[in-house]
Chains A and B, each alone.
Chain A
Amino acid sequence: MARKLPKVDVVIIGVGWAGGIIASELTKKGLKVVGLEKGKERKTEDYFMVHDELRYALRYEMMQDLSKETITFRSNEKIRALPMRQYGSFLIGDGLGGSGVHWNGQTFRFLPYDFQIRSQTIEKYGPNKIPADMTIQDWGITYDELEPYYDTFEKMAGISGEENPLAGKRSSKYPTPALKKTKAMELFTDAAKKLKLHPYVQPAANLSESYTNPDGISRAACQYCGYCERFGCEYGAKGDPVVTVIPVALKTGNFEIRTHSNVRRILKTGDKTSGVIYIDETTGEEIEQPADIVVLTGFVFSNVKLLLLSNIGTPYDPNTGKGSVGKNYAYQVRKGNAVGFFDKKKFNNFAGAGALGMILDDYNGDNFDHTDLDFIHGGMIILGQTGQRPIQNNTVPKGTPSWGPEFKKTSLKYANSVLTVGGEGSSMAFRHHFLDLDPVYKDEYGDPLVRITYDFEDQDRNMAKFLASKCADILKEMGADQVDYMQELGPYDVASYQSTHNTGGVIMGSDPSTSAVNSYLQMWEMDNLFVVGASAFPQNAGYNPTGTVGALAYRAAEGILKYRDAGGQVV
């Protein structure tokens, strides 16, 4: 039997961005909160030796240990799902701060179109524009309604940036100015303007100057060190939960963090939850933590897994389209890229910051006419300068051998003379893309792994090709001597890194029959359980997800306080 601890007001499962934000907002209001985090403690001192590409980028120092838990994957329901034995397509965060510690910091707001994609697409192009098996939905919230929460997130993290000319309205400017522009970024800007496009400096959680946020947290400016994504920031310059929201929560005296605490079940008593069961991984002991309110913030896979294992909500059935837990798993279509090789130009490719770069949204959302196109939506186009570390950046022009003298010579020649322009394609939901529990493979405790059923569709193939050719046009205009670009997207491959922008599975909406949580991320079927994260996205936009995750977390915190005062469904 599990050892039972005294009850608390709120228990949070997973202390990353979502969990950290909820903790800071609730503890400020006097609630007693316990945060259970399966990974270890993290602090800035850990990063003394952080500029180590092998350890962090290739050996995944900061990621979940896959020997303990992974996911299984199949392209469709006809084939056997097999475990993702090694990291590839995406990386699962672990430890205090979650993936928020080793993210890049590219911090976007989704477009107004994204939130009402189904209704606006039908309104403009008619119902036949959406293929029968494409299960996209409106979010149950509009951009304007979410705007104040974006604003709060950006001020907390100190996002640097400049106005995006093609986006929704902002109530205030970015709290810090845009990062510096590199020569490559200037080249992109000039070329894009010549092509009559609308480039802007990417909004970044890498501070452009020292900054004190509304919570009174001061942080130093980014040093463009070039070891950002997959690494922790030794300066605290990267907006990360460990240096922002978590200390705020701790300072109230109302927040207790328990690391090495792996939650296995959410307890259900009637139509309410009464707390959670977790394992103290340092002793192996099973512990029950009772709580009035449970907040599930363990990222997409843990969120779906814990609901299904705990028999909470209605599991999604791809045959009938009914049920919601596991529904509308989506991703990011990121391979629509072009690479440009410059014979006479050299850039400081070794330097950079996780979110340093130029963006344009001329081919994102419905910012361009889709009447004659065989896809909807699109994606942002980016020229990023994150710092090209040498093991993972040896791009050579098409036709060059991949080893031997020619490879060596050519890879060295272009080390500082190759630039990539990429399309960050949106990912629409489809009826047969979903998450459920694997029937065969188990985690370290014998619980089933989450199973992903997913592949690229015509929508994705057509969109990626379109974006790749636009990227190539820009690189040609930038003066690249050779431009290689994606010709065919191919099937989704779990073994090659694309992005950790997994979404869906516990989606939000205004209708309990087609969504799992309401617009405050409160479970329709369980009033005192909130499920927060990109799991709430009904489909994914053409941007990185975390700005929107942060905004939703602030909104969920408000919902939790409303529930605490009034009970019941807060919408």
Chain B
Amino acid sequence: MSEEHKESPESISRRKFIRNTGFTVGGLAVGGILGSLLTRQDKDSNNGKKDTHAEAGNFNEALMYFTPEQFRITEAITERIFPEDDLGPGAKGLGVAYYIDHQLAGDWGFNAREYMQAPFFVGEKVQGYQGRLKRRNIFDIGLREIQNHSMAVYKKNFTDLKGEEQDAILKDFEGDKIQLTTISPSGFFQMLRSATLEGAYSDPLYGGNRNMDGWKMRKYPGSQMAYTTIIDKDFQEVKPQSLKSHMNH
């Protein structure tokens, strides 16, 4: 693409954006975020400031929930789901297993904002998830069963298998080829798949999408203030920016 980086609105910072657009800030409504930013003192000029993503990311790369073994298995599984290739990093390079670990430690892992009251009955498929287990329990059980199945079929740890062997194990889960009394193998696999995409593509603030590489691979610009100048134009690549860039104000 030869038009790349041409006339794109680049990573305009919020303040710059507000300066550049000739908003008539008249109404009650625009008093909101814009108002507070406009009245903020122009105390630093951020343009030359070094990006601190990398360092901040490093402190985050420790475990809140997983055991080291669970972490390694998760890293191996998610890499099979979203592998490294010539387009860019896979789940491992993007930090997806850290993302999942951090999510399991919080609301998502506890199903905190979901209806978890008894009685529990097996429902029809169209009635959605009806289990009593929380996601962190499902991961504990699911990762152990992946390991068990790997030992049963190949007499090896999951993480020691060849790629195709790992895929075969995962396909057995995906297709409910194995019987478990505790969790749904395909349900667990789907949870892994969607968590992998979340970890690849959510804002780096959550520990995945390292260096915004997930976004870069698909030319997704992340969080931009405005697309008014390109919305009616042909495809344009816009340099991505994350939510952290908004903290520079």
Binding site for B on A (CB under 8 A): 43-45, 47-49, 51-54, 58-60, 65-67, 69-70, 73-75, 79-80, 82-86, 88, 180-183, 210, 212, 217-221, 223-227, 234-236, 243-244, 247, 346-348, 350-352, 356, 389-391, 394, 402-405, 407-409, 411-412, 415-416, 440-442, 491-495
Shortest beta-carbon distance from B89 to chain A in Å: 11
Set A44, A223, A347, A356: member contacting B31, Cβ < 8 A: A44
Selecting from B22-30, B51-59, B153-161, the interface stretch reads B22-30
Q: Which residues of B contact A236 (CB under 8 A)?
A: 27-30, 32
Contacting residue for A67 out of B26, B30, B108, B112, CB 8 A? B112
Residues of B within 8 A of A45 (CB): 32-33, 36
Q: Are A243 and B233 in contact (CB under 8 A)?
A: no
From the candidates A59, A83, A348, A407, name the one contacting B230 in the complex (CB within 8 A): A348
Q: For the complex, would chain B's binding face be called helix, strand, loop or mixed by DSSP majority?
A: loop
A contact residues around B219 at 8 Å (CB): 350, 415-416
Quick check: B202 and A182 within 8 Å, CB to CB? no
With a cutoff of 8 Å between Cβ atoms, the chain B residues found around residue A346 in the complex are 234-235
Show 30 residue pairs from A and B whose CB-CB distance is below 8 angstroms, ordered by the A residue. Answer: A45-B32, A47-B32, A52-B203, A54-B203, A66-B114, A73-B126, A75-B124, A79-B124, A82-B121, A84-B115, A85-B128, A86-B111, A180-B232, A183-B234, A217-B29, A219-B30, A220-B29, A225-B226, A226-B224, A226-B227, A234-B33, A235-B34, A346-B234, A346-B235, A351-B231, A352-B227, A405-B83, A411-B218, A415-B219, A416-B219
B30–A224 touching, CB < 8 Å: no
Task: Give bound CA distance, A243 to B236, whole Å.
Answer: 33
Q: In the bound complex, do residue B82 and residue A408 qualify as a contact, i.e. CB atoms below 8 Å apart?
A: yes
Q: Determine if A351 and B115 form an interchain contact, defined as CB atoms under 8 angstroms apart.
A: no
Interface size classification for chain B? 35 or more
**Pick from B200, B223, B234: contact of A51, CB under 8 Å:** B223
Q: Are B30 and A235 in touch, CB under 8 angstroms?
A: yes
Closest-by-CB residue of A relative to B21 is: A223
CB <8 Å contact, A404 and B81: yes
Which residue of chain B has its CB nearest to the CB of A251? B28
Q: Are B30 and A180 in contact (CB under 8 A)?
A: no
Given contacts A218-B29, A235-B30, contact A86 B203 (CB under 8 A): no
Alpha-carbon distance between A43 and B31 when the two chains are bound, in angstroms: 10
Q: Assuming the A-B contacts A182-B231, A492-B126, are A51 and B243 also in contact, with contact meaning beta carbons closer than 8 angstroms in the complex? A: yes
CB of B114 within 8 A of CB of A85, answer yes
Residues of B within 8 A of A (CB): 23-34, 36, 80-83, 85, 87, 90, 107-108, 111-117, 119, 121, 123-130, 167, 170, 193, 196-198, 200-203, 205-206, 214-215, 217-228, 230-236, 238, 243, 246
Contacts of B230 in A (CB 8 A): 348, 351
Nearest neighbor of A218 in chain B, beta-carbon distance = B27
B129 touches A390 (CB 8 A): no
The distance from the CB of B224 to the nearest CB of chain A, in whole angstroms, is 7
Pick the contact of B123: A82, A247, A390, A407 (CB < 8 A).
A82
Known: A80-B121, A226-B227, A348-B233. A495 touches B129 (CB 8 A): yes
Q: Which residues in B have their C-beta under 8 angstroms from that of A403?
A: 80-82, 170, 193, 196
Residues of A within 8 A of B108 (CB): 59
Bound Cα distance A227, B232 (Å)? 17
**How many Å lie between the Cα of A44 and that of B36 in the bound state?**
10
A94 to chain B, nearest CB (A): 11
User: Could you tell me the distance between the alpha carbons of A351 and B121 in the complex, rounded to whole angstroms?
Assistant: 43
B136 to chain A minimum Cβ distance, whole angstroms, is 15
Given contacts A54-B206, A210-B24, A404-B81, contact A223 B228 (CB under 8 A): yes
Which residue from chain B places its CB closest to the CB of A387 in the assembled complex? B227
Give the residues in chain A near B123, CB-CB below 8 Å. Answer: 80, 82
- Of all A-B residue pairs in the complex, the 9 with the closest CB atoms, nearest first, are A44-B32, A236-B29, A218-B27, A495-B128, A51-B223, A351-B227, A223-B226, A346-B235, A243-B29
